Structure 1
């Protein structure tokens, strides 16, 4: 790992420990490396994900911060922007011109954006077209299914 990347990741990890985003808990997978983080993102109150704890893996690429981290939800979630493999459709995680990643962004911003995505799904930029259709056309059915999945898959996390 380059010294610049290592120092940056150490600074971000220090900030993450002192001031984590609301509803987010994160830690390095290995005490010897800051290349892979695990996170638990709690579903915010007043959302269908409330009470859920969603496990997320964040892998920092070799060219970070010039490339965005790779994020995968390990916990199944009923969401238009998160597919069955846990991949996430979020502008911040994509390079321009399709996305909005900039080297000034950081892991804290990524984790906060993931938590916000659980509060405000974007059905117009969906990975799961069927889920997005339900979100747009029958919000009550979407909320009911998202709550059921949260109870089934996201309540058992440590």
Structure 2
């Protein structure tokens, strides 16, 4: 696969963010560029926070950075199927900082921490998965059962 030319400023920013992540002691989040050498395509993981239906689950994500990052947000998708009010069945995420509330002050770590927080505090006023939003509000035991069933299905694949 041919590696696209990456602007020097973008390369510098992403390399800096990688070093920050590697030296950070932030538990439960990690991200690295893809093995193919494309610095604008990353794989990330977040571990579900305690006291949430996702506790101890490791969730994989993809992050693709546009040529004008950090002035525009990366495209972030859950690669691990997840049952959540703000994530659709394709892994697309409804999170304001990845859309209209983006600012260049955000970085990969803040994105991952925001997603980790979203696991325990969904925005049910803007759901991508209406059923999950309704269950979160009305029947947490059934919601937890669906999260566990979805994760079990993944482990069996």
CA distance in 2, matches of 1:72, 1:63: 19
CA drift of 1:156 comes to 7.1
8 Å contact from structure 1 (residues 59, 71) kept in 2: yes
CA distance in 1, matches of 2:152, 2:53: 10
8 Å contact from structure 1 (residues 80, 126) kept in 2: yes
Unaligned runs of 5+ in 2: 1-5
Q: Per-residue displacement from partner, 1:107-153 (whole Å, max 9, x unpaired)?
A: 11111111111122221111111211111222222122123223332
Partner of 1:56, secondary structure, is strand
8 Å contact from structure 2 (residues 73, 98) kept in 1: yes
Q: Per-residue displacement from partner, 1:83-127 (whole Å, max 9, x unpaired)?
A: 000000001100xxxx21011111111111111111222211111
Of 52-61 and 18-27, more deviation after overlay is shown by 18-27
8 Å contact from structure 1 (residues 24, 42) kept in 2: yes
Alignment-derived partner of residue 32 in structure 1:
37
User: Are positions 1:112 and 2:117 aligned together?
Assistant: no
8 Å contact from structure 1 (residues 36, 58) kept in 2: yes
The 3 A distance-change label for structure 1 pair 125 and 20 is farther
TM-score by length of 1: 0.88
CA distance in 2, matches of 1:143, 1:123: 16
Alignment-derived partner of residue 50 in structure 1:
55
CA drift of 1:21 comes to 3.3
8 Å contact from structure 1 (residues 61, 68) kept in 2: yes
Q: Runs ≥4 in structure 1, deviation > 3 angstroms?
A: none
Alignment-derived partner of residue 87 in structure 2:
82
User: Are positions 1:72 and 2:73 aligned together?
Assistant: no
RMSD: 1.8
TM-score by length of 2: 0.88
User: Are positions 1:60 and 2:61 aligned together?
Assistant: no
Unaligned runs of 5+ in 1: none
The 3 A distance-change label for structure 1 pair 156 and 5 is farther
User: What is the number of equivalent residue pairs in this alignment?
Assistant: 152
CA distance in 1, matches of 2:66, 2:105: 15
